[in-house]
Amino acid sequence: MCILAHEMFNLPNLMTAGNLLCGISSIFMVFSGQLEIACYLIYLAAVLDFLDGFIARKLNQMSELGKQLDSLADMVTFGVAPGILVCVLLIIQTQGGLSIKYDLSLSEQVFMSVTAFFSPIVSGDWSAVNYLCFSGLIIPFFSLFRLAKFNIDTRQSESFIGLPTPANTIFFTSFPLLIAYYYNAGIENNVLNTVLTPWVLISITTLMSVLLIAELPLFSLKFKHFKWNGNEIKFIFLGCCLILIPILFAWAIPIIIILYLILSVIENKRKKHAA
């Protein structure tokens, strides 16, 4: 099949490529200690990921090529990038954590932790490597199967089966934002410290990763129309988001993802009862 240049480099596909570049850039930012910037790049990628499909439908430019490009970009941005992010969060904790006592910026402390972790690898001292930190790679492992499943599952044209990879990634971006907020404010937060404890973080990562491939129907935010009837659960969810984000800042992100799962379960039960 011959694909012409104007079909390959149309606006939706270029936005998908932008998604990919944001994902790659966020990985660079994570390794350099710029965790906040990494998260903002992921948010930009999520916007582009939404817009590429939206614009493709509006311009009647949906294609098999665009579908494949979207999954390839998502694997990097919403599979590899969050996996690396969690790995670095684990590295920080296993290297002694962050301290507000030092006269160092957050990015400097993160970069020092990453450098210290890779030091025995560079020298070939494999016995000194804390392999627990690679647990974050659970995310790209399950994301690979999630994205492949989505491509061939005809049930997911208007809704999702399993947690979407962007939602999973956004869940984990809340932790760096909270770390940065409390670090810059010079405050210790016991709840956040507990969540970031290696075994707690690994448990959360495993649970969220399994949800990626779970046979759990979840509603999507695709609107055929903007009337209340038929979109009740979507409007309720968006309304909750608008209330929670200004009040709870980054704490709102994991709460919103959990709320998304709960509302989906409620909607599933309502549909079964109606049937």
pLDDT tens per residue across span 2-13? 566 677 889 999
Q: Last residue of some domain: 195, 215, 235?
A: 215
pLDDT surpasses 70 at 1 = no
* 196 φ, ψ (degrees, to nearest 5): -85, -5
Looking at the fold, whether 242 and 176 belong to one and the same domain comes out as no
Q: Which of 215, 237, 256 is the last residue of a domain?
A: 215
Residues 37 and 77 in one domain: yes
Q: Are residues 174 and 245 part of one domain?
A: no
pTM summary value:
0.94
Please tell me whether residues 137 and 231 are part of one structural domain: no
Residue 207 shares a structural domain with residue 237: no
Q: Are residues 121 and 181 in the same domain?
A: yes
Same domain, 138 and 172: yes
Average pLDDT over every residue of 93-110: 86
pLDDT at 230: 80
Are residues 71 and 201 both part of a single domain? yes
Residue span of the structural domain in which 264 resides: 223-275
Answer yes or no: is pLDDT of 183 > 60.
Answer: yes
User: Are 140 and 232 in the same domain?
Assistant: no
Q: Are residues 265 and 175 part of one domain?
A: no
What phi and psi values does residue 164 have, to the nearest 5 degrees? -65, 145
* pLDDT average, residue stretch 248-255: 96
What average pLDDT does the structure give for the chain?
93
* Domain CATH code at residue 99: 1.20.120
Q: Are residues 135 and 271 in the same domain?
A: no
The domain tally of the chain equals 2
Question: Are 53 and 181 in a shared domain?
Answer: yes
Nearest partner of 158 among 212, 216, 222, judged by Cα? 222
pLDDT band with cut points at 50, 70 and 90 for residue 197: very high
